[in-house]
Amino acid sequence: TGHITLDFGYKNTGSTKSAITFLDGEEGILKYRGYSIEELAEKSTFLEVSYLLIYGNLPTQTELDNFQTLISRHTLIHEDMKKFFDGYPSKSHPMGQLSALVCSLSAFYPESLVAEQTKEEQELTMIKLLAKMPTIVSWIYKKSLGHPLIYPRNNFDYVTNFLNMTFGQRTEDVTIDPVVVSAMNTLLILHADHEQNCSASTVRMVGSSDCNLFASISAGISALWGPLHGGANQAVIEMLELIKADGGDTEKWINKAKDKNDPFRMMGFGHRVYKNFDPRAKIIKKACDDVLEKLGINDPILSIAKRLEEAALSDPYFIERKLYPNVDFYSGIIYRALGFPTDMFTVLFALGRLPGWIAQWKEMHENKEPIGRPRQIYTGHTNRKYVDVNGR
């Protein structure tokens, strides 16, 4: 075992070479395919960014139109998939449903199971997943309410179609507020990729066994669910609610987070790679103020979040450990203002991260990477004699 380097959590182990996302944690820089996240969030749409991540370049108008048309053709999901929704208890967590439903797409598109798919066939599978994800996500939500399902509208753009299926009604046309469409685009763009994080690494690891795209991404969704990863956006709101109900004493909760005997962590704080401000959090914090103001919402937990941030950033514990707010700290306050319930937040993260996962899966195949198979240092028993059950 002498040649095995042990690195719990792969803190210093590179798993691949990648040309998708650049991240400088010391400087707080994030770029997709060379474009700064700040510029993309301000000027682009989620569909354009999806194209950029998957194909490597921003699309021309014709490429974008073709991409949109192709996606529109695949937005429906098989009618039999509605039976899955009927089978879940109404309060079951949307992330469990999402992971299972995405994996189940492999049953409806068995051509995805063929390991030797041509490039064109593989790309069609990616398009199908991108196209069906908003339908699945909004139907999970509608089912949780017991409301009728709204079918995709192919004359709407990607984000508007998603919002219409989520907040629309079957009987009349609902105009989706442009403020909401724009906020949703920004949030999805900011979540679209983040190099070799836990879920992207999971997608690549599962995909490295030549497992189909749907199952690989379903595994990524499961990885994202945990509160140390994407599940943090739900955990942040629950934490802020708890602090509010407790009288808003932020100092008490900061002290709890610092106490090594207390399992409580400041949710939405800290990051494996960022040792400076998370650039996504900067943009989201500003968007949070803008969106709430434009929608005329006054959410008391926003002021608690700001006080918490201010107190943490001047506290030696957080300063020494370089713990800053991350992407999940303010995003939930926006999702809430847009009308989403808390348990849908991580699903929205997954919707945003989907093009990144697809791009990572595709790149892993194009690089012809070998199956992922880390080593270990064995610490168990060496030789034990088998004793029959009567003698144990």
Is residue 268 close enough to count as binding ligand CMC by CB under 6 A?
Answer: yes
Is 328 annotated as catalytic?
Answer: yes
Q: How far apart are CA 120 and CA 69, in angstroms?
A: 16
Cα(38)–Cα(183) distance, rounded to whole angstroms?
14
Q: Interface with ligand CMC includes 327 (CB under 6 A)?
A: yes
Which is nearest to 166 in space by CA: 341, 287, 294, 298? 341
| Residue 287 amino acid letter | A
| Nearer of residues 48 and 328 to ligand CMC, judged by Cβ | 328
Kindly tell me which of 48 and 343 has the beta carbon lying closer to ligand CMC: 343
Among 94, 230, 352, 356, binds ligand CMC (CB under 6 A): 230
Here the tokens at position 369 are 């990477």
95 binds ligand CMC (CB under 6 A): no
Q: Which of 140, 257, 283, 305 binds ligand CMC (CB under 6 A)?
A: 257
Q: Confirm or reject binding of residue 321 to ligand CMC (CB under 6 A).
A: yes
- The C-alpha atoms of residue 255 and residue 24 are separated, in whole angstroms, by 30
Nearer to ligand CMC, 119 or 321 (CB): 321
Does 197 contact ligand CMC by CB under 6 A? Answer: yes
* Residue 328 binds to ligand CMC (criterion: CB under 6 A): yes
* Part of the chain binding ligand CMC (CB under 6 A), chosen from 46-54, 101-109, 223-231, 373-381: 223-231
- Which of 41, 81, 105, 232 binds ligand CMC (CB under 6 A)? It is 232
Site track 174-193 with ligand CMC (rule: CB under 6 A), x = hit = --------------------
Residue whose Cβ sits closest to ligand CMC: 270
Half-sphere exposure of 215 (CA within 13 A, CB side): 17
Beta bridge partners of 36: 31
The residue with tokens 């179609």 is 161
Place of tokens 């709430």: 292
HSE-up of residue 185 (Cα within 13 Å, Cβ side): 21
User: Is the torsion defined by CA of 212, 216, 219, 221 positive or negative?
Assistant: negative
Q: Which is nearer to ligand CMC, 112 or 202 (CB)?
A: 202
Choosing from 228, 300, 339, 375, the residue that interacts with ligand CMC (CB under 6 A) is 228
Give residue 349's Cα distance to chain centre: 3
Residue at 223: amino acid letter: A
Q: Residue 271 catalytic? A: yes
Q: Which of 74, 194, 271, 343 is catalytic?
A: 271
* Closest CB to ligand CMC among residues 71, 333: 333
Of the pair 265, 365, the CB lying nearest ligand CMC is at 265
State whether the Cα torsion 372-377-380-383 is positive or negative. positive
C-beta atoms surrounding 143 within 10 Å: 20
Q: Which residues bind ligand CMC (CB under 6 A)?
A: 9, 197, 228-230, 232, 257, 265-272, 321, 323, 326-328
Just list the catalytic residues.
Answer: 271, 328
